[in-house]
Amino acid sequence: MLETTLGLEIIEVVEQAAIASSKWMGKGEKNIADQVAVEAMRERMNRIHMRGKIVIGEGERDDAPMLYIGEEVGFCTQPDAEKYCNINELVEIDIAVDPCEGTNLVAYGQNGSMAVLAISEKGGLFAAPDFYMKKLAAPPAAKGHVDINKSATENLKILSDCLNRDTEELVVVVMDRPRHKDLIQEIRNTGARVRLISDGDVSAAISCAFSGTNIHALMGIGAAPEGVISAAAMRCLGGHFQGQLIYDPEIVKTGLIGESKESNLARLRDMGIENPDKVYETEELASGETVLFAACGITPGTLMEGVRFFHGGARTQSLVISTQSKTARFVDTVHMFDKPKVIQLK
């Protein structure tokens, strides 16, 4: 039972990553903000009584020093683990992590960054390549009705009907990228409103599943690994999520690993992906019997507050979602650091 054994632990994992990263908020150092989050997440993860394997992490080609694809984490993966763990009785789990989702947001003190992870049984999360992904996220009421193969105009009409709202009342989140110029114009032509974000589309995707966020859809192209993490959350929440891998550098212009469309197609074949244009449904990206998602706000966002420091401690707000208990829990935590020194006034 993943939730009962790991529920509190994974909350603490994302909390520690968020606290570490938030200390670099507004300092213009996005790489350091990411690095300290990675270190804090890994350190806490390795104290959990589990056997975990990173399937989405800090570097597909294993060039990251920690939390890289394929790295084994958890107390029971240590060399002498058999002294403390009954290895054969522990369920192997797959883990997808983004210790600092929205590094630029942290570096420049902007809203919407968070530490996130998703876990499931071995084989329960799609090991997405470090490519881009066309994404469509929508509320539970629209699940199975909107379709990534339809135009934005068609999907907004369907969404309007499903939510019983005028199209003019709908808000669509889109990453602010040159590749989305035509998409943004099409959305605006329907009368719907566009909320542009610079980074952090996981938060935007899962916000669609919560009423009251005033976010009704996520459309456009973003990173594929974050698409799997979004799908894990949406699987728990019953929301709509579809993803389609983008392997042509000409579509996204920058950011893809690989020099050409042909080399990227060859990489996909090597990974066993025979149909590169396949549209992945939520249940295919997060297929495990049990899926858990956890996030902690680093900077303030739509769903969660960011880390707030006070003398001697900090306060965090986290979200943990589970297919097992069918719950979405917001957790407000006060962290008490080492007792501050008493200053003697002369």
Query: Annotated binding site for Mn(2+): which residue ranges?
Result: 34, 58, 98, 101, 226
CA distance 98 to 106: 14
User: Which residues, at least 6 apart from 135, have a Cβ–Cβ distance to it below 8 Å?
Assistant: 148, 201, 205, 218, 219, 220, 221, 222, 227, 230, 241, 242, 243
| 150 exposure class (CB count in 10 Å sphere: 0-12, 13-18, 19+) | middle
Tell me which H or E stretch contains 224.
helix 224-237
Q: Coil, strand, or helix at residue 322? A: strand
CA distance 154 to 145: 11
How many other β-carbons are positioned within 10 Å of the β-carbon of residue 277?
Answer: 8
Contact of 77 with 36, CB cutoff 8 Å: no
Q: Which two tokens stand for residue 320?
A: 């943990």
* C-alpha distances in Å from residue 309, one per residue of 19, 41, 225, 316, 336: 9, 19, 31, 9, 10
Strands in the chain per DSSP E: 51-56, 72-73, 92-101, 114-121, 132-138, 171-175, 193-197, 217-223, 240-246, 279-281, 291-297, 308-310, 313-322, 327-336
Residues annotated in the binding site, as ranges? 34, 58, 98, 101, 226
- Given CA atoms 88, 91, 96, 98 in this order, what sign does their dihedral have? negative
Which residue from 224, 28, 37, 245 is spatially nearest to 130, judged by alpha carbons? 224
Contact of 159 with 146, CB cutoff 8 Å: yes
